[in-house]
């Protein structure tokens, strides 16, 4: 993601663009994202340290705990890392954004937030330390920061652009610390709206065309009214809802599995289900079905004329999914379910 910052008289935007130069830890990114998050909620100039730290925890929790990505703060004595642990894990991928905010605010009250942010507010102002002709982004108070009015106005007037710029910088920085893992904005924060898999569910039901549905994990029959779609590789790892990674299961099974990795032996069962679905959908595929069929071809790198070949489909899945499972396990996703 690349976003240019617009110029404005009275503020030195070139210095703002240097905020994240030579960062060795995530604190600068998180502190500035905390400022932006506060401006989305209120355009006031004064921001307390406890409010900013809570926003930092929320911004760090999704990639570090839900996505299990390395964000640079992993030392045993790192205060931010310790605070992230107080919010809880995301094994069941159930915590809503509001709950995470509430937990972050609760634990920040028990933490001397200025102690945690002892050096960050001053370090973020480093671009303005020498030769600046205009005021820096903010001044540091005892209990927080106060944005200088020209900067407050600039940030508020350009909030979507500044947010996009900060998101792009944060995404790029995390990608450099997770070189073997595809990182997207979907892994760095909660979904903007509740995810609906209605079309994917219809795709599976169409492909089964009246045949009984059997759970690949429990091998028990799944009633249509109890059908849920499980992400074989946890969504918090892959960051998407691509059709090849979904499989129909009972709601209770989906809930129990959460963000765990299944045993590799279930991969063959997953492929058998998709082979049946593909063959059931192909004869009457409309535009929606063809979109899903294209996902198999593009993601599994399988030519369309080989989609119905069971052996070719299994080889494609094995080549894609097993290495991804190994990466996810190294990142800390619990393996060997059930």
> In angstroms, rounded to a whole number, what is the distance separating the alpha carbons of residues 299 and 302?
8
**One domain for residues 219 and 157:** no
**One domain for residues 267 and 138:** no
**One domain for residues 250 and 227:** yes
**One domain for residues 48 and 167:** yes
**One domain for residues 140 and 217:** no
Specify the higher pLDDT residue, 147 or 190.
147
**One domain for residues 49 and 170:** yes
**One domain for residues 74 and 171:** yes
User: Where in the sequence is the domain holding 152, given as residue range(s)?
Assistant: 13-187
With CA atoms as reference, report the closest residue to 59 among 180, 237, 187, 165: 187
Q: Whole-prediction pTM value?
A: 0.78
pLDDT value of position 200: 95
**One domain for residues 148 and 231:** no
27-53, pLDDT tens digit by residue?
899 999 999 999 999 888 899 888 888
Question: Is 103 inside any structural domain?
Answer: yes
**One domain for residues 314 and 216:** yes
Least confident of 121-125, 134-138, 222-226, 321-325: 222-226
**One domain for residues 234 and 274:** yes
pLDDT value of position 73: 57
Section 255-263 average pLDDT: 93
β-sheet bridge partners, residue 139: 146
> In angstroms, rounded to a whole number, what is the distance separating the alpha carbons of residues 183 and 197?
22
> In angstroms, rounded to a whole number, what is the distance separating the alpha carbons of residues 91 and 255?
10
| Percent of the residues in the chain that have a pLDDT greater than 70, as a whole number | 90
Tell me: pLDDT of 226 over 50.
yes
For the chain, helix, strand, coil in percent to 5 are 55, 10, 35
Question: Is 336 inside any structural domain?
Answer: no
Question: Is 4 inside any structural domain?
Answer: no
Residues 6+ apart with CB under 8 A from 313: 271, 274, 275, 278, 296, 300, 302, 306, 307
pLDDT value of position 165: 94
2-25, pLDDT tens digit by residue?
457 999 988 999 999 999 988 888
Question: Is 57 inside any structural domain?
Answer: yes
> In angstroms, rounded to a whole number, what is the distance separating the alpha carbons of residues 22 and 16?
14
Residues 6+ apart with CB under 8 A from 68: 236, 237, 328, 331, 332, 333
β-sheet bridge partners, residue 47: 145
Q: Count the domains in the chain.
A: 2
Query: pLDDT band at 1, cuts 50/70/90?
Result: very low
**Which phi and psi angles does 332 have, rounded to 5°?**
115, 5
Residues 6+ apart with CB under 8 A from 265: none
Question: Is 3 inside any structural domain?
Answer: no
Which domain-ending residue is among 156, 187, 218? 187
Cβ contacts of 301-308, under 8 Å, gap ≥ 24: 307/278, 307/282, 308/275, 308/278, 308/279, 308/282
Per-residue burial over 288-307, b if 16 or more Cβ lie within 10 Å, else e, is ebeebbeebbeebebeeeeb
Residues 6+ apart with CB under 8 A from 148: 45, 135, 136, 137, 138, 139
Query: pLDDT band at 312, cuts 50/70/90?
Result: very high
pLDDT value of position 19: 93
* Torsion sign across C-alpha atoms 10, 12, 17, 18: negative
pLDDT value of position 87: 74
**One domain for residues 166 and 37:** yes
Query: pLDDT band at 206, cuts 50/70/90?
Result: very high
Question: Is 298 inside any structural domain?
Answer: yes
What are the structure tokens assigned to 227, written together?
């059908």
> In angstroms, rounded to a whole number, what is the distance separating the alpha carbons of residues 257 and 262?
8
Section 278-304 average pLDDT: 94
**One domain for residues 245 and 300:** yes
pLDDT value of position 192: 62
Mean pLDDT of the chain: 87
Question: Is 2 inside any structural domain?
Answer: no
84-105, pLDDT tens digit by residue?
777 777 666 566 667 777 777 7
Residues 6+ apart with CB under 8 A from 43: 152, 156
Which domain-ending residue is among 125, 158, 187? 187
Section 113-140 average pLDDT: 86
pLDDT value of position 90: 67
Which domain-ending residue is among 162, 187, 212? 187
Question: Is 251 inside any structural domain?
Answer: yes
């Amino acid at each position: 993601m690349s976003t240019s910052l617009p110029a404005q008289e009275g503020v030195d935007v070139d210095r703002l663009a240097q905020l994240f130069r030579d960062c060795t830890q995530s604190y600068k990114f998180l502190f500035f994202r905390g400022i932006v998050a506060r401006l989305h909620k209120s355009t006031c100039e004064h921001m307390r340290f406890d409010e900013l730290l809570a926003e930092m925890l929320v911004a760090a929790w999704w990639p570090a705990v839900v996505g299990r990505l390395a964000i640079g703060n992993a030392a045993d004595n790192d205060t931010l890392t310790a605070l992230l642990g107080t919010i809880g894990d995301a094994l069941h991928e159930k915590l809503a954004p509001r709950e995470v905010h509430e937990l972050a605010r609760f634990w920040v009250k028990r933490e001397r937030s200025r102690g945690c942010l002892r050096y960050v507010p001053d370090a973020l102002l480093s671009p303005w330390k020498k030769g600046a002709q205009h005021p820096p982004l903010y001044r540091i108070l005892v209990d927080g920061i106060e944005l200088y009015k020209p900067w407050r106005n600039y940030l508020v007037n350009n909030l979507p652009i500044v947010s996009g710029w900060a998101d792009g910088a944060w995404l790029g920085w995390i990608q450099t610390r997770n070189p073997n893992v595809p990182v997207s904005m979907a892994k760095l924060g909660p979904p903007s709206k509740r995810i609906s898999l209605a079309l994917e569910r219809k795709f599976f039901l169409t492909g089964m065309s009246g045949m009984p549905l059997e759970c690949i994990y429990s091998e028990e029959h799944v009633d249509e009214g109890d059908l849920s779609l499980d992400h074989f590789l946890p969504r918090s790892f892959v960051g998407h809802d691509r059709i090849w990674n979904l499989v129909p299961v009972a709601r209770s099974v989906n809930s129990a599995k959460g963000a765990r990795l299944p045993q590799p032996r279930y991969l063959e069962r997953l492929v058998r289900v998709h082979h049946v679905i593909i063959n059931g959908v192909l004869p009457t595929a409309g535009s929606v079905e063809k979109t899903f069929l294209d996902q198999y071809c593009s993601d599994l790198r399988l030519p369309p004329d080989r989609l119905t070949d069971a052996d070719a489909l299994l080889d494609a899945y094995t080549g894609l999914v097993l290495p991804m499972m190994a990466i996810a396990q190294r990142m800390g996703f619990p393996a060997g379910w059930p």
